Amino acid sequence: MALSKVTDTIVDLPLGVKALGGVVLTGVVLAGFWKGLGVRQTNRKVYPPNTIVIHQLGRGPYVPSLTPFAIKLETYFRLEGIPYQAEHALYRKSQKTGKVPFLEYNGEEVSDSEFILEFLSKEKNFDMHKGLTAEQIGVGRAFQKMAEENTYWCFVADRWVLDKNNTALKEFGIPRYLWGRMQGKIRTMIHAQGLGRHTPEEIRHIMSNDLTALSYFIGSKKFLFGDEACKFDCAIFGILAEIRWASFGGFGTSVIKQYPNLCDYCERMKKTFWPDWEEMIKRDCTK
């Protein structure tokens, strides 16, 4: 039956029948969606031995990855000249933790960007803190955790919940019938984290305070600790890049523009480690 005929028939049904039919239809659509998702999860590729494969969300449309933690990993691999392969799937997550990005290496799966780097530093025998003093490692860790555990959640609230136009959901190609469920899960997460208990104005203020601290510390330096970038720069850049270029309809872009040295820092990281940036961001964000 043609779709137009189906919709015409639905319009003519009694209200109670339409309500029941809507529930059934939604259930059928969701079941089909999650069944398809399961198929995508189980269709695994086989890679050559010792290949570093990072599974993440798709490229673009404004940043090379839709998750800051994938940008962190890829930037670090580029910093150290470590060969890797990126695989993109909007709905694929770690089977162990449900997180993204995750590493696949010789059949082993590792999730969480920090655990991935720790795992690879042992497998590939590289020092994540090469050239840094003990004091710099301490400071870098503090700023990284501020960005990843605090600023990040401001960004999540801004992108997914506070934008009344749902720009990110549209850009990501998320089916409209999943919007409420997805936003509900995110609201629950940021409420449990604590940030979601604040007003939008307070969340914006918290983000501004974090960026102020980072702006003060970087000052006129090229990177976090001077002329050479380090692992902590990669982590911080991952967060700032999302705020700078992929806040979609949120307040993040206007907030970071209040800090010219952070905007310059983002441009410097992009130019240094992502000469193919423009090529990357032209790819479909669902692939």
- Hey, where are the domains in the chain? 52-124, 134-282
Tell me, what's the pLDDT at 231?
Answer: 97
What whole-number percentage of the chain has pLDDT above 90? 68
pLDDT-based confidence at residue 284 (cuts at 50, 70, 90): low
The set of residues, in sequence order, having a beta carbon less than 8 Å from that of 64 and lying 6+ positions away, is 70, 71, 74, 274, 277, 280, 281
Can you give the pLDDT at residue 33? 44
Q: Is 40 exposed, middle or buried (0-12, 13-18, 19+ CB in 10 A)?
A: exposed
Confidence of residue 282 (pLDDT cuts 50, 70, 90): confident
**Between residues 27 and 139, the one the model is more confident about:** 139
Out of 58-67, 179-188, 190-199, least confident range: 58-67
Quick check: 181 pLDDT over 80? yes
Q: Give the domain 52-124 fold.
A: Glutaredoxin (3.40.30)
Q: What pTM was estimated for this model as a whole?
A: 0.82
Cβ-Cβ contacts under 8 Å for 117 (sequence gap 6 or more): 73, 76, 128, 231
Q: How far is CA 287 from CA 55, 172, 274, in A?
A: 11, 10, 19
CATH 1.20.1050.10 fits 134-282, yes or no: yes
In angstroms, the CA 210 to CA 154 distance is: 10
Average pLDDT (244-273) is: 96
